C-alpha cells in the first residue's frame, strides 16, 4: 500500500520509492531496502504496477514503476479500508 501510494504521484524507480517512504515517514518506517524489490515485482505480476526501463537523472539505466488503472483502484480501496480501520481503532482508544 505504501508502495502504491509512493507511486501515486508519478513513475519512480526502486531507489526513489525507498527514499520517498523513508522521507515522508520521517524515517520511522525503516526496513531492509532489498525487501522492497520482491514486493515491487509481486505487484507488477498482479498487474497493479507497470514497469519500464528508462534513464535516471544521473544517466544510469533504471527500471521505472508506475501505477496502472487497476493499481489506482486498488490503492483507493486500500485507502478506504485503512481509514475505516484507523477510525475504528481511534474510537476504541478514546473510550478508555
Q: Are 65 and 39 in contact (CB under 8 A)?
A: no
* Identity of the residue, 10 or 88, whose beta carbon is nearer to another protein in the bound complex: 10
> Cβ 62 to another protein, closest distance in Å?
5
* Identity of the residue, 53 or 91, whose beta carbon is nearer to another protein in the bound complex: 53
Q: How far is Cα 45 from Cα 40, in angstroms, rounded to an integer?
A: 9
User: What are the residues binding another protein (CB under 8 A)?
Assistant: 13-15, 18, 32-35, 37-38, 41-42, 44-47, 53, 56, 58, 60-63
* Identity of the residue, 15 or 89, whose beta carbon is nearer to another protein in the bound complex: 15
| Radius of gyration of the CA atoms of the chain, in A | 15
Instruction: Give the three-class secondary structure for 31.
Output: coil
Amino acid at each position: 500500500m505504501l508502495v502504491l501510494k509512493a507511486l501515486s504521484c508519478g513513475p519512480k524507480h526502486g531507489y526513489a520509492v525507498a527514499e520517498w517512504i523513508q522521507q515522508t515517514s520521517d524515517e520511522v518506517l525503516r526496513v531492509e531496502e532489498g525487501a522492497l524489490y520482491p514486493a515491487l515485482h509481486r505487484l507488477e505480476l498482479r498487474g497493479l504496477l507497470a514497469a519500464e526501463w528508462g534513464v535516471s537523472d544521473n544517466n544510469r539505466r533504471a527500471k521505472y514503476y508506475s501505477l496502472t488503472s487497476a493499481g489506482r483502484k486498488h490503492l483507493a480501496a486500500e485507502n478506504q479500508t485503512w481509514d475505516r480501520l484507523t477510525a475504528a481503532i481511534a474510537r476504541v482508544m478514546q473510550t478508555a
